[in-house]
Amino acid sequence: MVAWCLMPDHLHVVIAGAPDVVVWVRRFKSGAGGAAVRAGFPAPLWQRSFHDRCLSCMDNSLESVVRYMLENPVRAGLVAGAQDWPHSAMWLDEEVSIGRPTPGNADPTTG
């Protein structure tokens, strides 16, 4: 897992090197869903489907996609800066500075 951002009604995850995304998502949902039920959350925790995008098929860098994803709480008006959102993390080879996107930045995940 490269980065994740848990929003009030959905989860963003960037994974790398997963040979089969469907298997990875199934295992993740099973483990997280089981833990949530044991913690007292109602089941089911997840919807059956998920949406994925192939980053290597797009013209955007991993860093730009991670930055865009981590800015979701800012765009949703939940925090002033991405660094203020406690429900996200990233693991990149180099430190990535998170900042507010400049006006006119397009969604890099739409290709």
Residue 72 dihedral angles phi and psi, to the nearest 5°: -50, -45
pLDDT digit string (tens) for 20-79?
Answer: 888 888 888 899 889 999 999 888 888 888 888 777 677 778 888 888 889 999 999 999
pLDDT digit string (tens) for 74-109?
Answer: 999 999 999 999 999 887 555 444 433 333 334 444
Query: What per-residue confidence (pLDDT) applies to 106?
Result: 41
Distance CA 19, CA 91 (A): 19
SS3 (DSSP) at 12: strand
Query: What per-residue confidence (pLDDT) applies to 86?
Result: 92
Distance CA 45, CA 36 (A): 7
Q: Which pTM does this prediction carry?
A: 0.67
